[in-house]
Amino acid sequence: MTDDESKSPSEIKSQPDVKIYSLSTCSHCKSAKKFLGECTIKYEFVDVDLLEGDERKAIIDDVKKFNPRCSFPTVIIGDKVIVGYKEKEIKEALGLE
């Protein structure tokens, strides 16, 4: 039995975890969310501009760990970090190419 055969269908099709650090006002962030939605990819996102106080500081520190320039969107796909809305890189990281 191969690894895949031992897994349930949902496990075989499982996608890497996807998280977007975004701004609610940013055109590239909106494009990235729209694209993932169209690809029926599940993702989490946090609109950093809508956060306040300590929560905002903590999330900014998180973003900087992945992307020291703290620009948006910062897209995390599994262990890959994609800075900006780069459709080709996002597709590759998701194995859609």
Partner 1 sequence: MNAQQLYDMMKKVQEAKGYYFNEDRERVFDLLESLILNKQRYGYMGCPCRLLSGDRAKDRDIICPCVYSVPDIAEFGSCYCNLYVSKEWNEGKMPRDYVPERRPPEKMPF
Contact between 14 and partner 1 by CB under 8 A: the answer reads: no
The span of 2-10, 12-20, 38-46, 78-86 binding partner 1 (CB under 8 A) equals 78-86
As a dihedral over the C-alpha atoms of residue 50, residue 35, residue 76, residue 88, rounded to 10 degrees, the angle is: -140
Contact between 25 and partner 1 by CB under 8 A: the answer reads: yes
Q: Which is nearer to partner 1, 15 or 71 (CB)?
A: 71
The Cα 7–Cα 24 span in angstroms is: 38
Q: How far is the CB of 18 from partner 1 (least distance, A)?
A: 19
Contact between 19 and partner 1 by CB under 8 A: the answer reads: no
Residue (of 67, 68, 97, 62) closest to 82 by Cα position:
67
Contact 51, 59 (CB under 8 A): yes
Residue (of 68, 94, 73, 97) closest to 85 by Cα position:
73
Q: How far is the CB of 55 from partner 1 (least distance, A)?
A: 14
Contact between 23 and partner 1 by CB under 8 A: the answer reads: yes
Q: Which residues in this chain contact partner 1 in the complex, by CB under 8 A?
A: 23, 25-30, 48-49, 60, 64, 68-72, 84-86
